[in-house]
Structure 1
Amino acid sequence: MQTTTLRQLVTTTGPFTSVYFEDSHDTEDAAKQLELRWRELRDQLAAQHAPDESLDALEAAVRDSSRPVGRSGRGLVAAGNAVVVDEQLDEPPAAPVTRVSDLPYVLPLTRYAKPGLKYVVATVDQVNATVRAYDEHGGEIAADDVTGREHPVHHVRGGGTAQYPMRQHTEETIRRNVADVAEDVTRLADRIGAELVVIAGEIQGRRAVCEALPKRLREITQEVTHSDVASEVVLTAKQRRLDEVLERFHNALNSESGLAVDGLEAVTAALVEGNVETLLISDPQDATVYVGDSPTHIAVAEAELRTMGAREVRQRRADEAVPVAAIAVGADLVYVDSALTEGFGAILRHN
């Protein structure tokens, strides 16, 4: 995931209260279940000595936000009386995650919120279309209804040369409608920098629109029968991105390019140099590191930080300190299911 929206965590003073939980609304009593779930989560956080002001801020965020549709999860991080992270998760955690600590805990965010993807979904027929654009968090940011020319849009059956003008008129009407839809899809896709376009509808209509798109958009377009499956297409595209990142990491790690490292010592050294493009995380368990005066003063041994001139050295959990250091250098964060040495790997910016 891109960390632009998380940069404020680097300069925010803790303690941080982090919570990740299921926020599904796919049953009639979903609101009641959420209320009960939040009470349990608040009790768990209070038992970890979360500040009351942070708990109140989190509660307001849970109660006042718009409700998602279907299965989903929620990730919230508060500091003081403010919520500094509020993200919908692509899939809910198997069990709630709560933590109160001096550093923000964002590892579950990388695990359950897949990489951002800007996309456009168009539901089309031979006459009309609804075109919607979504940001990298899945929020709708633009919507257009394209109304085409309705008569005639069906080919006239039967013989005789008298029917030729009517057929030509029908074909021209369809062609213009398709061109209008393709133009609108292109406009919205270019406006948001879409990385995926989904065209839904009956096969003749959607195929015509796809063929009318510029080549650069056809290359990122997928056709589906109904817009209801667009979310599945998006999730598949996100997973494909993760797979590509992992493949790139392993290829670099096994080559002589020097553009990938694994293990805490190598990863922290690269973070100190600001040389991490993408941080990969699997399961660091209870590993710890030492941090100094800034997030990128980080090492596996206290003596290393002393040589950097760090005045104050503190031991911190690696699953908190390493992601925060990556955010500080503008690196992407990616959670992977495959094992990494000591739970961390990195794709480097340069060797």
Structure 2
Amino acid sequence: MAQEATALVDRLRAELLVLSGPLSARRALRVALPGRCHRLVVEMEGPADPAVHHLAGRANRNERRAVVVRFRDEATRMTGRAVQGMDAVFTALSEGRVATLLLSDPLVGDRLIGGGRADEVLPLLAVEHDAEIVLVGGAVRLHEDVGALLTP
């Protein structure tokens, strides 16, 4: 079980690992996990559904906040590691230079880029090149609703 949990944490780049069930089972699993997973573990007693949703939501908000701060910092310092706008982001994605794709929640879909709708093409390119996708909502203004943090 610990190997499967660790593999999922690695594959999903999880920031949270929720353990629920009998206390003895939770403790046994926690001890069997590698040290790098211990900081991700949250143990739950009783029904986990509402609590898990709350914790997952908090983790997502924290991740989004960190990405927005990093994007603003890179854009302000003009390091060349943050780009925005359809053309700049599409080019960077096509070249495999994007670490994180930032999208406003309602990405404008009727804009065509790369032979398809932007709301389909950009996420597909991100997945193809193993880039992280983060919906930033209104937390940061993005030219044409799209931005990217580039790989170093």
Instruction: Read off the aligned partner of 1:196 and give its amino acid letter.
Output: L
How many Å separate the matches in 2 of 1:322 and 1:196?
A: 30
Residue aligning to 1:198: 42
Q: 2:73 aligns with which of 231, 251, 258?
A: 251
How many Å separate the matches in 1 of 2:128 and 2:99?
A: 12
Residues 246, 186 of structure 1: CA spacing in aligned structure 2 closer, same or farther, 3 A cutoff? farther
Q: 1:327 aligns with which of 108, 120, 127?
A: 127
Normalising by structure 1, what TM-score? Answer: 0.34
Residues 227, 195 of structure 1: CA spacing in aligned structure 2 closer, same or farther, 3 A cutoff? farther
Instruction: Read off the aligned partner of 1:197 and give its amino acid letter.
Output: V
Q: Provide the identity percentage.
A: 29
Q: Offset at 1:234?
A: 2.9
The structure that has the greater radius of gyration is 1
Q: Which structure features the higher share of strand residues? A: 1
Q: CA RMSD in A?
A: 2.9
- Could you tell me which runs of 5 or more consecutive residues in structure 1 were left unpaired when the two chains were aligned: 6-114, 132-180, 202-225, 292-314
Q: Is the 8 A contact 1:288 1:318 kept in 2?
A: yes
Residue aligning to 1:341: 143
Q: Offset at 1:193?
A: 3.9
Residues 194, 327 of structure 1: CA spacing in aligned structure 2 closer, same or farther, 3 A cutoff? farther
Whether 2:93 is the aligned partner of 1:267: answer no
Q: Secondary structure at the match of 2:126?
A: helix
Q: Deviations over 1:111-169 (max 9, x none)?
A: xxxx8545032567xxx5341xxxxxxxxxxxxxxxxxxxxxxxxxxxxxxxxxxxxxx
- Could you tell me which runs of 5 or more consecutive residues in structure 2 were left unpaired when the two chains were aligned: 1-10
Q: Offset at 1:271?
A: 1.6
Kindly indicate whether structure 1 or structure 2 has the higher relative contact order, using CA contacts under 8 Å at least 6 residues apart.
2
Q: Deviations over 1:173-222 (max 9, x none)?
A: xxxxxxxx3x641313x299466222346xxxxxxxxxxxxxxxxxxxxx
Q: Secondary structure at the match of 2:102?
A: strand
Whether 2:16 is the aligned partner of 1:121: answer no
Q: 1:287 aligns with which of 85, 88, 111?
A: 111
Q: Offset at 1:244?
A: 0.9
How many Å separate the matches in 1 of 2:63 and 2:31?
A: 23
Q: Is the 8 A contact 1:116 1:238 kept in 2?
A: no
Q: Secondary structure at the match of 1:333?
A: strand
Q: Offset at 1:342?
A: 0.5
